[in-house]
């Protein structure tokens, strides 16, 4: 075997496998590969038990409920299922929530990642793949960030991700653990928790409710359909080079306002549903990633924005029983708190006096 060439993963631990990206990635692996998968997920607010149920009959997939910070549990799972690769998708992911309370982010993202790294090191696992984000680079007003751009996170969420990335890199350098960091742009698609811009806009529109856009809505993001991300993740699990960072993006850049307008068009709803609300503190106006490094490995996105949004809207229309309990339960409570605080705005409402 030549240097850099490794055996394909056989048994993967997918942490956060009942969340949005996790659910889609597990489904992708079961459809397109013959690997064994074990999911560890705490089923906190964004991880759904119904996501887990869909693969319950599949002999190749097991589910263990628990937190990744629980070292004993994770080690037991790794030994029991002879895990060779960890793909760490477990995280608190919502920027706005990190502004309300940073502690769950530090716990799940920073401490959780360190616990996993320690286990990967001690058990000498073959690979450790860390899901990260374009947000670690902070605002990128012109051009695009490359994998070596300075890390200047703006939000507590992004700072937690940046810290976790640093630990991942340090375990590669210090212990020779075969690590990989995947930084992606905004991802959308089926089974995303309603707090994110795309599902929130779809569900508000279906209820003929106003869609809150922060500030003037001209902030720009790149948008990737979740299945394209899953293909990228699997490719990187196999051929990504140890110690490297890889960007995954579509290069499809949209203003938030434009994204919501596409959704309204698909649902034949009026633009009057758009509603400007005060901006969130520390909101980065733009992110943009170069992704030629993963393109050189043979990956490129296959789903256009039109197709991806159409599939997403149709999924939410067809899966009311999935989102209805969330919309009226955990999301409704959070929505009241967050948008209430946002509308009061001013430094004092964020605890800065």
What does the binding site for ligand DAU look like in residue numbers (CB under 6 A)?
93-95, 133-135, 185-186, 196-197, 200, 212-214, 219, 221, 256, 287
Q: Are strands 220-225 and 253-255 parallel, antiparallel or unpaired?
A: antiparallel
134 is catalytic: yes
**Cβ proximity to ligand DAU, 83 vs 168, nearer residue:** 168
Residue nearest to ligand DAU (CB): 133
State the minimum distance, in angstroms, from the CB of residue 200 to ligand DAU: 5
| 3 state SS of 23 | helix
- Min CB(133)–ligand DAU separation in Å: 3
Cβ-based nearer residue to ligand DAU, 13 or 224: 224
83 touches 73 (CB < 8 A): no
Least Cβ distance, residue 199 to ligand DAU (angstroms): 8
Looking at the DSSP assignment, which residues form a beta bridge with residue 38?
13, 62
What stretch of H or E contains 75?
A: helix 71-80
Confirm if 267 and 202 have CB atoms less than 8 A apart: yes
- Answer left, alpha or beta for residue 145, where phi above 0 means left and psi between -120 and 50 means alpha: beta
Nearer to ligand DAU among residue 40 and residue 187 (C-beta)? 187
313-to-67, 250, 309 alpha-carbon distances in Å: 31, 19, 6
Task: Report the residue number, 84 or 134, with the smaller CB distance to ligand DAU.
Answer: 134
Do residues 143 and 92 make contact, with C-beta atoms less than 8 angstroms apart? Answer: no
Of residues 137 and 299, the one with the C-beta less far from ligand DAU: 137
CB 292, min distance to ligand DAU, A: 19
- Active-site residue 157, yes or no? yes
Q: What are phi and psi of 187, to 5 degrees?
A: -115, 145
Task: Compute the least distance from the CB of residue 312 to ligand DAU, in Å.
Answer: 12
Active-site pick, 157, 171, 287, 331: 157
Six-digit token string for 14: 């997918």
Q: Which of 41, 134, 195, 228 is catalytic?
A: 134
The residues annotated with a catalytic role in the active site are 134-135, 157
């Amino acid at each position: 075997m030549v240097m850099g060439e490794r055996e394909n993963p056989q048994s993967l631990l997918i942490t956060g496998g009942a969340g949005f990206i996790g659910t889609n990635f597990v489904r992708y692996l079961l459809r397109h590969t013959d690997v064994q998968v074990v999911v560890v997920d705490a089923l906190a607010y964004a991880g759904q038990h119904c996501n887990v149920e869909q693969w319950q009959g599949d002999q190749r997939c097991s589910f263990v409920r628990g937190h990744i910070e629980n070292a004993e549990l994770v080690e037991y799972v790794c030994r029991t299922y002879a895990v060779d690769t960890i793909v760490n998708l477990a995280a608190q992911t919502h920027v706005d929530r990190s502004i309300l309370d940073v502690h769950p982010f530090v716990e799940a993202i920073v401490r959780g990642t360190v616990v996993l790294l320690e286990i990967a090191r001690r058990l000498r696992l073959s690979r450790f793949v860390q899901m990260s984000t374009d947000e670690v680079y902070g605002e990128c007003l012109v051009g695009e960030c490359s994998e070596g751009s300075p890390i200047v996170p703006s939000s507590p969420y992004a700072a937690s991700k940046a810290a976790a990335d640093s630990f991942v890199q340090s375990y590669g350098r210090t212990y020779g653990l075969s690590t990989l960091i995947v930084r992606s742009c905004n991802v959308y698609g089926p089974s995303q928790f309603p707090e994110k811009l795309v599902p929130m806009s779809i569900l508000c529109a279906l209820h003929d409710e106003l869609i809150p856009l922060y500030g003037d809505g001209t902030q720009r993001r790149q948008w990737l359909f979740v299945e394209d991300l899953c293909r990228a993740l699997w490719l990187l699990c196999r051929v990504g080079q140890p110690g490297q960072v890889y960007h995954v993006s579509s290069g499809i850049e949209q203003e938030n306002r434009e994204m919501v307008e596409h959704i309204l068009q698909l649902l034949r709803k009026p633009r009057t549903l758009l509603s400007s609300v005060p901006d969130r503190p520390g909101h980065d106006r733009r992110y943009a990633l170069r992704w030629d490094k993963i393109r050189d490995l043979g990956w490129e996105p296959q789903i256009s924005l039109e197709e991806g949004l159409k599939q997403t809207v149709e999924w939410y229309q067809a899966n009311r029983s999935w989102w209805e309990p969330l919309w009226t339960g955990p999301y409704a409570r959070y929505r009241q708190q967050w948008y209430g605080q946002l509308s009061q705005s001013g430094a004092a409402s964020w605890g800065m006096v």
